Amino acid sequence: MTDSNRVLIFDTTLRDGEQSPGATMTHDEKLEIAELLDDMGVDIIEAGFPIASEGDFRAVSEIAQRSKNAVICGLARAQFPDIDRCMEAIKHAAQPRIHTFIGTSPLHRAIPNLSMDEMAERIHDTVTHARNLTDNVQWSPMDATRTEWDYLCRVIEIAIKAGATTINIPDTVGYTAPRESADLIRRLIETVPGADEVVFATHCHNDLGMATANSLAAVEAGARQIECTINGLGERAGNTALEEVVMAMKVRHDIMPFDTGIDTRKIMHISRRVATVSGFQVQPNKAIVGKNAFAHESGIHQDGMLKNAETFEIMRPEDVGLAGTSLPLGKHSGRAALRAKLKDLGTEVGDNQLKDIFVRFKDLADRKKEVFDDDILALVSATTEGADAIQLVNLRVTCGTVPAEAEIELEIDGKDQQATSEGDGPVDATFKAIRVLHPNKARLQLYQVNAVTAGTDAQATVSVRLEEDGMIATGQSAHTDTVVASALAYIQALNRLAVRRAKVGPGADKREISYKEM
């Protein structure tokens, strides 16, 4: 592997990915995802936007202190206070990076009402200021793909001369196409003085479904850093998906002879964790990490797979961390077998968590004939939370030809309370009964049910997203009874809202700074 063929992977799941409405992660979840990204070989982790809120600052700061291998990057607008706050957050990282940006297209220049010359001066001053704080500075002309060519060249040259070491070219609105993306990078490298001394990066959005193609085209034209997120998580239609660009370069190394430092065997595990903590489930037909990515139902396909897996698979499931087999466990399986299965699935748990998972596993095995890998992973997701103020004790639902009625018993702050409510169906009745015992103004933004495995005894994974006073929280749970799973997910979301409300305090801004993502 030569340096000229090395492509850096810049993951922005914790910054741009978290900007997806409803994808907000807790502090501990951010730390967990950052650790997984670091462990899988991501080169640069954009940990957050430190000046946005105190919570963002604390998360970036702690990730910087914990990082082992990756460069830890913070985002900052083209303003001195942003840059100073960013440096304060990342200063303890072994390899800190400041990423500063400003919108350079006509539409974005109109927002701060700056002339071309005024913006050019600000770029010079802010990049210089950042470079005086650290020798690793990334600069981005937001909405670069809609910026006038001459002006784009001018401001990139200014940023390079001011000390930027990475120049990122964002397709902020997912407007460009592969050939155009490649031409832009190629022309910039050929035209801008000093371009050969910096790394060019590409940052694409998926509004037209071309983020992966645009990123790979940019690499072929000379970009050596791809900005991406796990599962393509991100604003609107999402960002470039890390798993897609990494596996594309791995599988088609014959025509894209580029290398990354990613351990692809860890892709599936982190994909599942991001889906769980964000509440954004991966669509079944999603490339690389979708549930059906390695499923074969057609008779012709199955026959071909039995004779030679390469007839219908261009990569092995093991290459992305998917177990080659999905042998089920049963009610007679012991704790050692469960621990071994979890290890095979890329999940390490402590003794206390294993004990909790094992109890749930035995309960599930009594209700299901076979407990598959996805069932076990769903149990893991359901046992990662700590002690909550609200816990489900018992639920009884009556529905059918009569109005649905839910009788629920909750433990709230250590005290058992009961309530009964009617509703438009069993889930509505259950949620209303919960609100009787725990009054709240939270608005249900999302209610989603997915079967974990096939069959009438399958577990249902329910995702719930709640919004209250500008704060958003998600809850997710799995159970063979869909109504019970719904209640557990709803309660988990309420518990998370309560935690955030306590941290923010009454009357405080829920997010101090809002900004347009790149």
Which among 442, 425, 421 has a CA at the least distance from the CA of 489?
442
Query: H/E/C letters for each residue in 272-314?
Result: HHHHHHHCCCCCCCCCCCCCCCCCCCCHHHHHHHHHCHHHCCC
d(CA 483, CA 502): 29
Q: How far apart are CA 287 and CA 298, in angstroms?
A: 18
Q: Which residue has the tokens 């990569």?
A: 315
Closest listed residue to residue 261, CA positions, set 216, 212, 225, 223: 225
Distant-in-sequence, close-in-space partners of 66: CB < 8 Å, separation ≥ 6:
31, 34, 35
Query: What token pair was written down for 266?
Result: 């860890």
**Quick count: other Cβ atoms within 10 Å of Cβ 30?**
24
Q: Kindly give the residue spans of alpha helices, DSSP state H, lying in 176-285.
A: 178-191, 211-220, 242-251, 267-278
Measured between alpha carbons, how far is 124 from 164 in angstroms, rounded to an integer?
Answer: 10
| Of 284, 289, 269, nearest in space to 345 by CA | 269
Helix/strand/coil percentages in the chain, nearest 5: 45, 20, 35
| CA within 13 Å, CB half, 518 | 31
Q: CA 410: distance to chain centroid?
A: 32
Give the SS3 label for residue 151.
Answer: helix
Which residues of 215-326 form beta strands (DSSP E)? 225-228
Residue pair 268/289 in contact (Cβ under 8 Å)? The answer is yes
**Cα–Cα distance for residue pair 376/369, rounded to 1 Å:** 14
Query: CA-CA distance, 122 to 225, in Å (whole number)?
Result: 25
CA distance 165 to 369: 58
Rounded Cα gap, residues 375 and 383, in angstroms: 13
As a whole number of angstroms, the distance between CA 161 and CA 120 comes to: 12
| Whole-number Å distance between alpha carbons of 197 and 121 | 22
Q: Does 16 belong to an annotated binding site?
A: yes
Nearest Cα to 141, choosing from 114, 120, 170, 116? 170
CB atoms within 10 A of CB 300: 10
Q: Determine the Cα–Cα distance for residues 446 and 22; give it in Å rounded to an integer.
A: 9
Q: Is 440 annotated as a binding residue?
A: no
124 appears as a binding residue in the annotation? no
Instruction: Name the binding residues.
Output: 16, 203, 205, 239
Instruction: Name the binding residues for Mn(2+).
Output: 16, 203, 205, 239
